[in-house]
Chains A and B, each alone.
Chain A
Amino acid sequence: DAGVTQSPTHLIKTRGQQVTLRCSPKSGHDTVSWYQQALGQGPQFIFQYYEEEERQRGNFPDRFSGHQFPNYSSELNVNALLLGDSALYLCASSAGLAGYNEQFFGPGTRLTVL
């Protein structure tokens, strides 16, 4: 079992560009959550996908959008990149939405916006 995988591992973009990050959940997991971790901070919840629908969203602008595919993998899209979007983007997967379900994290994608 490969666990949660994310791609790419690192990415450099310039302001105004668009970026797509990808996440494949752990085998058997159907729920994917995305988090943004700025340097020196704890991760902040962006949104969560289950059954191909966005189930909950954190306090992020509409420039942040996502998608979940029938195989449960997910994409995070960020449009009109700002310098402040530079962060580690983490994906976590679980088997369902229940709070008692353990979550597994991917290695993250380090996004740098110049």
Chain B
Amino acid sequence: KNEVEQSPQNLTAQEGEFITINCSYSVGISALHWLQQHPGGGIVSLFMLSSGKKKHGRLIATINIQEKHSSLHITASHPRDSAVYICAVGLYGGATNKLIFGTGTLLAVQP
């Protein structure tokens, strides 16, 4: 079983829909990251959070440390949101901030 699991693996939505991507992890973490990757492209950091909730524009990320679960929400989705969204965790403790990644959620928003 992977240490970081995401669902769904693929998601197709109509423009304007509210989207939720889920991430569960099984290890102690120092922080959880939500990242965006466009096809063939590099990775852009959307959020880094260790508790509570963060909001940036139409994106909202929440984390429940006790349940080891995080969600990424996109409100009023737009075709330009189409990308792979990746959840990654930094492990708690240890002299490293290496990340363990989920396999990503491929989101396609249709006009």
Residues of A within 8 A of B (CB): 31, 33, 35, 40-45, 48, 55-56, 58, 90, 92, 94, 96-108, 110
Check A102 against B45 for contact (C-beta < 8 Å).
Answer: yes
Binds A, one of B55-63, B72-80, B84-92: B84-92
Indicate whether B12 reaches chain A with its CB closer than 8 angstroms: no
Check B98 against A58 for contact (C-beta < 8 Å).
Answer: yes
B10: min CB distance to chain A, Å: 11
- Which B-chain residue is minimally distant from A109 (CB atoms)? B42
Name the one of A42, A56, A108 contacting B98, with C-beta atoms under 8 angstroms: A56
B42: min CB distance to chain A, Å: 4
B43: min CB distance to chain A, Å: 4
Residues of B within 8 A of A (CB): 4, 29-31, 33, 35, 40-45, 48, 50, 86, 88, 90-92, 94-104
**Which residues on the A side are within 8 Å of B30 (C-beta)?**
98-100
Check A97 against B92 for contact (C-beta < 8 Å).
Answer: no
Check B98 against A45 for contact (C-beta < 8 Å).
Answer: yes
Check B42 against A105 for contact (C-beta < 8 Å).
Answer: yes
A38: min CB distance to chain B, Å: 11
Check B50 against A56 for contact (C-beta < 8 Å).
Answer: no
Check B33 against A103 for contact (C-beta < 8 Å).
Answer: yes
**Which residues on the A side are within 8 Å of B92 (C-beta)?**
99
A92: min CB distance to chain B, Å: 8
- Which A-chain residue is minimally distant from B40 (CB atoms)? A110
Check B95 against A103 for contact (C-beta < 8 Å).
Answer: no
Check A90 against B42 for contact (C-beta < 8 Å).
Answer: yes
Check A108 against B102 for contact (C-beta < 8 Å).
Answer: no
A41: min CB distance to chain B, Å: 6
Name, among A43, A105, A107, A110, the residue most crowded by chain B CB atoms within 10 Å (CB to CB).
Answer: A43
Check A90 against B31 for contact (C-beta < 8 Å).
Answer: no
- Distance between Cα atoms of A56 and B99 in the complex (Å): 12
Name the one of B50, B94, B99 contacting A45, with C-beta atoms under 8 angstroms: B99
- Distance between Cα atoms of A33 and B95 in the complex (Å): 13
- Distance between Cα atoms of A99 and B33 in the complex (Å): 11
